[in-house]
């Protein structure tokens, strides 16, 4: 059992690519394909554009690509922009019950890996081990203290996981890795109150930037409390009231990346299985949107604190609106990036369907982010009722996306940005990531898409 900051550092330094099962390596590659695709898509979304403008104005050593934006900056700044862009799509892939996502750590390891000339195997190794470090404690603290304090554990613990991943890429020893984790604690942040705002998206980028900077500063000799995670007033105590937290860290096939589910559309993961359920009932019983009188979604007390916008005012809020998602589902739409834009929110056809959906909150159910089930009932104007208990979403580990479906998700994301042969080439490179001596060609393709490819020479 892991109990101390040093235990985590020893795990990072003592576990290597050779300890990873082949299925873990393959899952990591598919998650990278998904994450890098959503990063490119996010370069055209408001939060991603704001952060790209911020990075351009800030300058910095041109070491790492800002995906989709056509320029390079420092690894830390690239991680900040790319993590924010990836999260701005709300397409990030998540694992439960830790409520952990990939949209901060994958952009960060690729940004630093590009600077360092890291191999694909080193990228996979850093991602998988960093994810393990952030996910395992999250399995305990997310629904047992952190949530009730308003702490969003994905960016909180993500800063620590990314510091661990960056330490691995830098080749730090146990003491230095311990210091990197300690320095990351001083930069870890995330608030559940920010969901539905640009700050929620930005928090993913912050975790990436701060995790890399923590490892870089540790490499340069900056120090922190070596026992920062454990004990009274330590990090886990401050985060969730667990001063003596115990958790195990896996090897082989027993790693948390294997429990990451793929998102299919750009909204909060809590609604994925509900949308699947509504869609199934609509198609099975041939229910027309105009015939729907009401949709009741049964939820735990946490659900309405997160999916809290019955009448969203903009694209950011729509990604946390059960009403908006249900409207698109009964209209038989393919829930695309456009569905969750400001223009998509203003669509009168969708707005007309919003009032039909309501949440039935069960106060007796456990307070947790992803509960066990969401029963739904669709009632028609003709008095018919159709019910389903939603448990699994297609994309969950229990019903995973195929490689072809993950590739299609990536292609949908890069459509109109990285086009034709370059898009296919990048996908092929990611599927062969464990064979790449370095990731420079891949990052060049995704950094300089077709409309800005002419900029490549002046930024090379």
Q: Give the tens place of pLDDT for each residue, 48-92.
A: 999 999 999 998 899 999 999 999 999 999 999 999 999 999 999
Give residue 458's pLDDT: 37
Give residue 449's pLDDT: 85
3-state DSSP helix/strand/coil % of the chain, to nearest 5: 60, 10, 30
| Count of all residues that appear for the chain in the document | 460
Write the pLDDT tens digit of every residue in 397-425.
999 999 999 999 999 999 999 989 999 99
Entry pTM: 0.94
Give residue 3's pLDDT: 86
Q: How confident is the model at residue 1 (pLDDT cuts 50, 70, 90)?
A: confident
Dist CA 149 CA 15 (whole Å):
33
Q: How confident is the model at residue 451 (pLDDT cuts 50, 70, 90)?
A: low
Dist CA 310 CA 237 (whole Å):
35
Give residue 289's pLDDT: 96
Give residue 455's pLDDT: 39
The pLDDT mean for the chain works out to 95
Q: How far is CA 371 from CA 9, 309, 383, in A?
A: 32, 19, 30
Write the pLDDT tens digit of every residue in 243-289.
999 999 999 999 999 999 999 998 999 999 999 999 999 999 999 99
Dist CA 389 CA 298 (whole Å):
9
Write the pLDDT tens digit of every residue in 128-170.
999 999 999 999 999 999 999 999 999 999 999 999 999 999 9
Among the listed residues 66, 89, 69, 91, the one whose alpha carbon sits nearest the alpha carbon of residue 79: 66
Give residue 460's pLDDT: 42
User: 202, 190 in Cβ contact below 8 A?
Assistant: no
Give residue 382's pLDDT: 95
Give residue 337's pLDDT: 87
C-alpha triplet 158, 160, 166: angle, nearest 5°: 100
Beta bridge partner(s), residue 95: 100, 260
From the number of C-beta atoms within 10 Å of its C-beta (0-12, 13-18, 19+), residue 134 rates as: buried
Among the listed residues 379, 271, 382, 282, the one whose alpha carbon sits nearest the alpha carbon of residue 332: 282
User: 85, 106 in Cβ contact below 8 A?
Assistant: no
- Domains of the chain: residue spans and CATH: 5-261 (1.10.4100.10), 269-390 (3.30.1330.120)
From the number of C-beta atoms within 10 Å of its C-beta (0-12, 13-18, 19+), residue 459 rates as: middle
């Amino acid at each position: 059992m892991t109990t101390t900051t040093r235990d985590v550092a020893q795990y990072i330094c003592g576990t290597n690519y050779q300890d990873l099962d082949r299925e873990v390596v393959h899952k990591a590659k598919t998650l990278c394909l998904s994450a890098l695709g959503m990063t490119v898509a996010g370069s055209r979304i408001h939060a991603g554009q704001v952060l790209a403008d911020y990075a351009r104005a800030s300058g910095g050593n041109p070491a790492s690509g800002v995906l989709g934006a056509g320029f390079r900056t420092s690894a830390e700044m690239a991680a900040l922009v790319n993590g924010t862009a990836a999260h701005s799509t709300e397409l990030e892939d998540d694992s439960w019950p830790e409520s952990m996502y990939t949209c901060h750590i994958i952009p960060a390891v690729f940004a630093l890996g590009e600077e360092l000339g890291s191999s694909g195997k080193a990228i996979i190794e850093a991602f998988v081990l960093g994810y393990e470090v952030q996910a395992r404690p999250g399995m305990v603290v997310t629904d047992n203290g952190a949530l009730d304090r308003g702490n969003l554990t994905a960016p909180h613990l993500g800063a620590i996981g990314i510091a661990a991943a960056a330490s691995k890429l830098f080749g730090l020893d146990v003491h230095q890795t311990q210091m990197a984790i300690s320095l990351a604690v001083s930069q870890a942040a995330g608030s559940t109150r920010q969901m539905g705002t640009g700050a929620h998206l930005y928090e993913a980028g912050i975790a990436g930037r701060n995790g890399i900077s923590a490892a870089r500063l540790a490499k340069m000799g900056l120090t922190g409390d070596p026992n920062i995670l454990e004990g009274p007033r330590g990090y886990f105590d401050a985060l969730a009231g667990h001063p003596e937290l115990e958790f195990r860290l896996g090897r082989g096939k027993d790693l948390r990346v294997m429990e990451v589910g793929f998102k299919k559309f750009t909204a909060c993961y809590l609604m994925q299985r509900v949308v699947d359920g509504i869609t199934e009932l609509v198609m099975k019983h041939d229910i027309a949107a105009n015939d729907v009188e009401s949709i009741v979604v049964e939820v735990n007390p946490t659900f309405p604190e997160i999916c809290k916008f019955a009448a969203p005012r903009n694209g950011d809020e729509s990604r946390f609106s059960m009403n908006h998602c249900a409207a698109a589902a009964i209209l038989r739409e393919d829930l695309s990036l456009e569905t969750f834009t400001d223009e998509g929110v203003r669509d009168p056809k969708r707005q007309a369907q919003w009032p039909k959906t309501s949440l039935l909150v069960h106060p007796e159910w456990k307070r947790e982010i992803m509960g066990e089930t969401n029963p739904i009932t669709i009632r028609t104007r003709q008095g018919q009722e159709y019910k389903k208990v939603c448990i699994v979403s297609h994309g969950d580990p229990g019903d995973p996306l195929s490689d072809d479906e993950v590739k299609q998700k990536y292609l949908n994301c890069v459509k109109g940005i990285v086009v034709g042969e370059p898009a296919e080439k990048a996908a092929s490179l990611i599927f062969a990531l464990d064979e790449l001596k370095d990731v420079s060609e891949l990052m060049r393709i995704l950094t300089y898409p077709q409309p800005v490819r002419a900029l490549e020479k002046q930024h090379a």
